[in-house]
Structure 1
Amino acid sequence: MLLGDSKLLLGDVVNWAQGRAGRTVGFVLDTRVPRVLAALLAGVALALAGTLVQAVTRNPLAEPGVLGVSGGAALGAVLLVTSVPAAGSWSVAGAAFAGAGISSVVVFGLAARGGFQQNRLVLVGFGFATGAAALISLLIVLTDPFNATKALTWLSGSTYGRTLPDVAPLAAVLTVGVLVAVMRRTELDLVSLDEDTPRLLGLALSRGRLGFLVLSVLLSATAVAAAGTIGFVGLVAPHAARALVGRQHVRVVPVAMLLGAVLVCTADLVGRTVIAPAQLGAGLMTAVIGTPYFLHLLMRGRR
């Protein structure tokens, strides 16, 4: 919160929290604090969603985008931005959430026949995400250049202009998600093992998978609605957490959430300072970090 186009001191933050900051410092922190909170909470939500998706699919290269949720949310937001240019931030967030909901219904409906098996779920989700990306490109090409700029800014994962009310839904969903992940951590360990062990222990595998997937959809949808499209966090954070603390989710979940928060907040910080006063979206910065790591995972997997 101290760094940006305007540099602040820790005492400025203390005075702002106590309501004794000057007009300039107050304006800077009134706009900066919500976007820092949005970056932190979005990173935590995407990391938790990625942990759930990788456990259910038993695929260390899976992330929320694989389910088509991020693509559906982006399609809903871009559709509204290009058709209703005067739409506000809450309307765009609602359109993103609606797009994520519709995409999840389609993907889960097509994958349900196989009991949400990992290969079918990943293939259906990847196909939907590819189709959503094609439709987004078509909308941007056909729309007015001003609307296209707004859509591309949102797609870059920008936290610009966020307010505390924009962050509140994400905080509420994240609280529920953390509680569920902690309470059902043993079931999450079993689901991530194989097909037979959970059934031998009396676990309804399809219902358990569906529950974790629905939770991951809610987390991803609210994160995208609050901070735009931010990729690779759901891939990098869980994988790095398992490399640090092992595979038991009682340790993986908190470490992954911490890494996700640090990654997105750092990306947002770099994006608003490296070319200040101009800004780069946090999603662009996470892609710069995540792409080499993704290629590293692929190469190590081949070896």
Structure 2
Amino acid sequence: MAVAVAGLLLGDHKLLLGDVANWAQGNAGRTVSFVLDTRTPRVLAALLAGAALALAGTLVQAVTRNPLAEPAVLGVSGGGALGAVVLVTTVPMAGGWSISAAAFAGSALTAVLVFGLAARGGFQQNRLVLVGIGVASGTTAVISLLIVLTDPFNATKALTWLSGSTYGRDLPDVLPLAAVLALGVAVAGVRHRELDLVSLDEDTPRLLGLDLLRGRLGFLVVSVLLTATAVAAAGTIGFVGLVAPHAARALVGRRHTRVLPVAVLLGAVLVCTADLLGRTVIAPAQLGAGLMTAVIGTPYFLHVLVRARR
């Protein structure tokens, strides 16, 4: 709550709590109304995108049993970025809804490709991760090629979107993400015991009568939906799906009935804080939330990697 309130009050134009109260009652002045009308959807987009990416990361790490896995490892984030960049570079006048739809379509197609290549191995952890890394590398290469070949103005738009910016978001952009996040939380909450079993080993779920292949696929589909809608709403934001589940397990243990809500809250706080810093550090200029989460997440990623090797 403190981070959300700070996100509303701070920025290139600082406000007071009384300004927010007047705006909520419809009594604010024109300047305050304009600032909050544009800032509120950005704060909501950051909170919901962070929560969705954290939940998706929790599901992916449980299914793959890989502490270094996150949605970007499966190539889903890269596919969404590729879809958006293709539209931005080929249709310069495309609007926000069109770019979001292209990002969602790119994530969906990438997920189909990754799951199709990994299905022969029964979605085994190593095969799925390796296929995802390969596809993610391919999408990164194509994105770089498109940016180099396109008009500099379109390249600037593409790079702004790739930085994970919430700039220009409005409430209709946030509603699909809110709906998918509610669905993902409900599914994960109901099946939290199944998540505990899937994250243990290969044999225990089968001995208890669980269809391991179907369970893995179901959780992966939910994680793809969460990632795709988050990318469509807020651009590509990395490391949240890696950092938030690890921090949640460090705080409350490994049982998913506790990990899920804590990870969701931590992800929301992380992205909202990153968006707030990006709007205030060099105001009135802005930095994308994805850049700020990378600054936070890279040292933590190296720490996890070193600890895993030990």
Is TM-score (shorter-chain normalized) higher than 0.5? yes
Deviations 1:192-243 (A, max 9, x none): 0000000000000000000000000000000000000000000000011001
Answer yes or no: is 1:55 the counterpart of 2:62: yes
Residue number among 71, 79, 82 corresponding to 1:64 in the alignment: 71
Paired residues for 1:198-217 under 5 Å: 198-217=205-224
The letter of the residue matching 1:172 is A
TM-score (norm 1): 1.00
| Secondary structure in structure 1 of the residue aligned to 2:236 | coil
Q: For 1:253 and 1:96, how far apart are their aligned partners in 2?
A: 26
Whether 1:237 and 2:237 are equivalent positions in the alignment is no
Tell me the distance in 2 between the aligned counterparts of 1:67 and 1:300. 22
Gaps of at least 5 residues in structure 2 are 1-7
Query: 1:302: how far off?
Result: 2.2
116, 121, 140: which one pairs with 1:109? 116
Q: Which residue of 2 aligns with 1:92?
A: 99
For the pair 1:194 / 2:201, whether they are aligned, the reply is yes
Calculate percent identity across the aligned residue pairs.
Answer: 84
Give a deviation string over 1:233-271, Cα, whole Å, max 9, x none.
000000110011000000000000010000000000000
Alignment equivalent of 1:40, drawn from 44, 47, 69 = 47
Q: Residues of 2 paired with 1:15 and 1:188: CA distance? A: 45
Secondary structure of residue in 2 paired with 1:193: coil
> Match for residue 14 of structure 1?
21
Q: Distance in 2 between matches of 1:196 and 1:14?
A: 56
Secondary structure, counterpart of 2:9 in structure 1: coil
Q: What is the alpha-carbon distance in structure 2 between the residues aligned to residue 255 and residue 199 of structure 1?
A: 28
Aligned residues: 303
- 1:260-284 deviation per Cα after TM superposition (whole angstroms, max 9, x unaligned): 0000000000000000000000000
Deviation at 1:158, TM superposition (A): 0.2
Aligned mates of 2:28, 2:195 — CA distance in 1? 47
- Runs of 5+ unmatched residues, structure 1: none
**Aligned partner letter, 1:157:** G
What is the aligned counterpart of 1:133 among 140, 145, 152?
Answer: 140
Once residues 63 and 297 of structure 2 are traced to their aligned partners in structure 1, the CA distance between those partners, rounded to angstroms, is 22
- Residue 167 of structure 2 is matched in structure 1 by 160
Task: Give TM-score scaled by structure 2 length.
Answer: 0.97
Identify the residue that residue 269 of structure 1 maps to in structure 2: 276
SS of the residue aligned with 1:70?
Answer: helix
CA–CA distance in 2 between the matches of 1:300 and 1:196?
26
Give distance in 2, aligned partners of 1:61 and 1:18: 46
Match of 2:290 in 1: 283
**Mapped pair 1:294 → 2:301:** yes
Q: Which residue among 265, 268, 288 is the counterpart of 1:258? A: 265
After the TM superposition, which segments of 4 or more aligned residues of structure 1 sit over 6 Å from their partners?
Answer: none
- Cα RMSD over matched residues? 0.4
For residues 291 and 37 of structure 2, the distance between their equivalents in structure 1, rounded to whole angstroms, comes to: 24
- Deviations 1:91-147 (CA, angstroms, capped at 9, x unpaired): 000000000010000000000001100000000000000000000000000000000
| Partner SS, residue 6 of structure 1 | coil
Residue 162 of structure 1: CA displacement? Answer: 0.2
Q: Distance in 1 between matches of 2:19 and 2:186?
A: 35
Q: Which amino acid aligns with 1:280?
A: L
The residue that corresponds to 1:143 in the other structure is 150
